[in-house]
Amino acid sequence: MTIRNSLRRQIQYACVALCVPVSASALTLPSPYMVSAGPLGQIGVQGVVSGLGFYQDNPQGTVAGTLASKHVGADISNGLVIVQKSSGLVQFTLEAGAYSFPTLASGFTSASQTVNDFGALPVAYVTLAPSKAFSVEIGKLPTLIGAEDGFTFQNLNIERGLLWDVEPIVSRGVQANYSMGPLSASLSWNDGYYSNRYNTVSGDLTWTIDGSNSLEFYASGNLGKAGGSTTNTYGAGNIADGADDSTIYGLIYTYNHGPLTIEPYLQYMRTPAQPGIDLNHGFSNYGGAVLASYSFTPTLSLAGRVEYLGVSGHPGLGQEPYASGITDLPEDSHAWSVTLTPTYQAGDFFLRGELSYVTASCPTGLGFSGATGQGTTQLRGLIETGFFVLNDS
């Protein structure tokens, strides 16, 4: 298992599902089932089917019957088929199906709601690869930002963390990738938080120091309002709360040797004043996290994550709905989280448990949890189980 590769995960994103893990993952992913597609050549096909059950105190939802309002619930976490052509000048990656993005300090969203945001084809892009060192991708691309990926099976933990919550997930656009020796870089022009406004530039630079150590810097910023609009709820929400006009920077260090993986990272995000949406005072969020995993045996491992996230601002300046929209925390607040995820995997079958706890200090009368939104703690327990299918074993 590796957390990082000398090529940024975008270059071989589907290989997270088809070949080997490229970002933090406690699961060993089998090789794909290869089929001959005539003039298209060899195509890899693989799938993952999994579900999760949860318990939580202080649920955020106010609409009875929704997952977010329940203390106990269950849902699909992955029902995906991944098809990839990874050789030749013209390549492609398609990921289709159902999926969900459980996230700390955020209400549970059902797989059907998530599919409404990104569609039944959440990742789909064509790659032009004239050489091993250079490629260009166009389509629906996973973000370059952050240390955690979108789908649960790609990550150490079932839930994504506090820092992941403020990052984009998928963007539509064009991305160029280049590698030279220990350095690799990616540069993308895209629509940021799936906003349908193609005015965001994001980039990533990774230095593979040696076989066990790497250092990565990423950044994303808005080049100005390009017009356009979207009826997509995820994109519309991130336009309305100011996230799509924000800038974000991060630094990740990865150590991976034998059974031990440690990945600390820092992140800063600035949301400027935007009078057009009645945000008259800008604010920031900033934080750090340490992700780690240790494999006790080929079938049993334990992953953990500790995080801090702070949100600037002052009550009375009208920042609260925007800060909560981006971070799920009010302005002038601070949150800490701890997550433990034991994992058992035997062949294509996996079973994971998870215990997470979030606590925050917030201005009087404000919070992030509970039906009133004034709670400042949340405890969750999760179980996820499933299979990898369509592989060559």
Top-confidence residue, 96 or 228:
96
Q: What is the β-pairing status of strands 247-257 and 260-271? A: antiparallel
Q: Which two tokens stand for residue 301?
A: 């491992």
> Given a cut of 70, is residue 225 above it in pLDDT?
no
Average of pLDDT values for 220-244?
83
The set of residues, in sequence order, having a beta carbon less than 8 Å from that of 243 and lying 6+ positions away, is 166, 192, 193, 271, 325, 326
Could you give the 3-state DSSP secondary structure of residue 168? coil
pLDDT in tens, 147-199: 999 999 999 999 999 999 999 999 999 999 999 999 999 999 999 999 998 99
> Given a cut of 60, is residue 22 above it in pLDDT?
no
pLDDT value for 13: 37
pLDDT in tens, 188-210: 999 999 999 899 999 999 999 99
> Given a cut of 80, is residue 219 above it in pLDDT?
yes
Euclidean distance between CA atoms 218 and 201, whole angstroms: 11
Euclidean distance between CA atoms 144 and 202, whole angstroms: 7
pLDDT value for 63: 84
Least confident of 46-60, 230-244, 276-290: 230-244
pLDDT value for 292: 97
pLDDT value for 25: 59
> Given a cut of 60, is residue 19 above it in pLDDT?
no
pLDDT in tens, 66-81: 899 999 999 999 999 9
pLDDT band at residue 393, thresholds of 50, 70 and 90? Answer: low
pLDDT value for 312: 96
> Given a cut of 60, is residue 17 above it in pLDDT?
no
Which pairs count as long-range contacts for 295-301, CB under 8 Å and 24+ apart, including other chains?
295/1, 295/259, 296/259, 299/344, 299/345, 299/346, 300/342, 300/343, 300/344, 301/26, 301/259, 301/342, 301/343
pTM of the model: 0.90
Top-confidence residue, 23 or 88:
88
pLDDT in tens, 262-271: 999 999 999 9
pLDDT band at residue 390, thresholds of 50, 70 and 90? Answer: confident
Per CATH, the number for 15-389 is 2.40.160.10
pLDDT in tens, 314-345: 999 999 999 999 999 999 999 999 999 999 99
The set of residues, in sequence order, having a beta carbon less than 8 Å from that of 161 and lying 6+ positions away, is 103, 104, 148, 289, 305, 307, 337, 339
pLDDT value for 228: 57
Euclidean distance between CA atoms 237 and 356, whole angstroms: 26
Q: Chain-wide mean pLDDT for the chain?
A: 90
pLDDT value for 12: 38
> Given a cut of 50, is residue 11 above it in pLDDT?
no
pLDDT band at residue 297, thresholds of 50, 70 and 90? Answer: very high
pLDDT band at residue 6, thresholds of 50, 70 and 90? Answer: very low
